Structure 1
Amino acid sequence: MDLTESAEDRAFRDEVRTWLGDHLVGEWRELSGLGGPGRDHEAFEERLAWNQLLAEHRWTCVGWPEEYGGRGLSLWQQVIFHEEYARADAPHDVNHLGETLLGPTLIAFGSDEQKRRFLPPIREVTELWAQGYSEPNAGSDLANVQTKARLDGDQWVIDGQKVWTSNAHVSDWCFVIARTEPGSSRHHGLSFLLVPLEQEGVEIRPIEQLTSGSEFNEVFFTGARTAADLVVGEPGKGWGVAMGLLGFERGVSTLGQTVGFARELETVIARAKTNGSIDDPVVRDRLAQLKVELSAIRSFALRALALVEGGQDSAAGGGAGSIFKLAWANWHRKLGEVAMDVAGPAGLLTRGTRSDSGGAYELDEHQRLFLFSRSDTIYGGSDEVQKNILAERVLGLPREPKGA
């Protein structure tokens, strides 16, 4: 990828920066940085309104083709948008799963009617989506899904349980992987269904996290229903659709993520300067190493996206996406650990108390960073899964033996 910006790209960067500067003021500026990982509960309704303002000005779904309401931006211009959005410290979006995962999946695999029905409300941020993949015994091993669905006339009837379902408690719909062929196993006989959450037969139970929020949920389907034509792709062939969606997960928005990481690193450096821990040569060396590593991660991410764009690597199963996930997840976890070392004894204390009687504690930004980053190497495909992908699909090593 040629990283030299053209005159057109520079003009686009100025356009994004100017629009954000003109609009991220007043009440919107008060939302700066809210809603990040482990903080999805913050100012949700206000962030929803901000996202709808973005939609009015065509700043949602910027990479979608114009025929579906997007801007059809080039890969590099999408990177520019996400980087400038992160640099402006704008509030985190509320419909990441709809915009960056389901939308592109429907464009690639959905019927014309599904595209007409679901793409506009995703783009306008009037319908929010959750992801119904993981189950108690099918987290990283997605092919072990046990949730079942059967056709009953013109409807699918769904029974089963999903877990770690991000933002299900505030979502309108959920895309669900369910087993629709009795007696099938592993990746055979699965279907990709679009299921409304506001109905009898759906129970959502928020899971309280160490960071005090409840971003994740358990979702129970007991005779829940959805229309027969709300299966994406062919019934029983949902594995390919599910893998296609996971490919979109490693998209250009991850470049904006590295900008957010850089901001977090700068806050840790600032704290080290304030409390004097920067004078410790070991601390100083670790901070410098983090900065160099983040620069390398960003360069690799750009190269990986260029390979995917050029058709030289598969985002769903190829090496680039797995290497990038391993790199940023472990870097971010290391940042959390360094942040606690910089904080020293103060990092062990919280404001307020927590007890069985319902007391609450308040974390500072570095405590929250440390606690949430422990999950980085698990969600979105654990380290073990990423290493297996690289070993089997890239290096050609023997597949991991399955238990009897």
Structure 2
Amino acid sequence: MQQHADSYYAASIKYPLSFPPLEDDLDVDVCIVGAGITGASAALVLAERGYKVAVLEGKLTGWGASGRSGGQMIFGYACDQAKLTRLVGMEASRALWDISLEAMTLMRRRIHEHAIDCDLADGHLHAAVKPRHMTELESWARDLRRDFGYDKLEPWSRERVRQQLDTEAYLGGLYDPASGHVHPLNYTLGLVKAAVAAGARFFEHSPVTRIERGATPVAHTPTGKVRSRHLLLCGNAYLEGVAPEIERKIMPVGTYITATEPLGEERARELIRNNMAVADINFVLDYFRLSADHRLLFGGRVSYSRLDPLNLADTMGKRLRHVFPQLQGVKQQYTWGGYVGITMNRAPHFGRLDGNVYFAQGFSGHGIALTGMAGTLMADAIAGSAERFDLFGRIPHQDFPGGRLLRTPALVLAMAWYRLRDLL
């Protein structure tokens, strides 16, 4: 039987949920494919509004990126806001910016309303590795203040960073007190638990093999099928072969995290005194934070080839000790990875197929809060308020070149340039 990735998150689950596979034919109002944050959020909102909802998950609830990520809750999108402005214009860009802030507020509200035990903590630092990063961060903060009224960002000097981080790796940074971090698997499972309490039905080990479109879409699994009035595709990087026209718009990219053994509260807080999350701004970035039991969770490195790096734990350990050399000799207890779905422009890809099939994908590693908003916006659209969901449909997206067979090597070559730029 399928298990969660051998991660720190799986070892510290607070909600050990289990659901049967679909072994029947069902008729519901809404069928949701994928039981991550997007699917669970949509199920929660729809069930609370009285819709009959079935959620089909090919593995386990929270099995994909929702339960494996770095857990960093950050404003905005994976592409910068200036790019969104160029793509959709200032008015739509401002509306999208407001939605990204609302996503963080919504996430905090759900954690509170449903008493989700997921180690919520405040604060995030974008860290500068080289002088040009400081220029970029200062310009970014200035633009967000001028064009979007976001005045929470605090430019930090190298000395200010050193007051909170016990490392010489950074020249400064940009601190946001409104962002933060969570235990992503417990957050996801807490949403699933709340959706079940509201009346949604979940089915695990029920991969959708194909869908029939039309007035009453049908989702087929190996042992059953679900007919519905509305179908939501929320599988992101793990939704393969079901809807090829949207699959071509995203690329599954491997990303990885390592977790140290518990360091003890005093030693852990010496590393990050204010318990914020941190990410540098390289294209291939490092990111890290402390866990509730005082481990360092350190993420980074990516695989665009869909092959895991050799000696993954050693590779991650070298990056960790580059930032924190004082952790030489500390054991790494867990190292894991998984896929995130990226788009060509790094903007999220939301939309509809045939009017009653909705999808949200391509969060590009920036989805811990936005996925919850995506599920909510899809639920709103089904209930008759589609304006904000359709706003995302104005963002243009391109297919990855090369088709399913050749798009991976093409991307590997392209990413080599960005990796080289990080080193300069």
Confirm or deny a common fold (TM above 0.5): no
TM-score (norm 2): 0.28
Higher relative contact order (CA 8 A, sep 6+): 2
Bigger CA radius of gyration: 1
Q: 1 or 2, which has the higher helix percentage?
A: 1
Between structures 1 and 2, the one with greater strand share: 2
TM-score normalised over the length of structure 1: 0.29
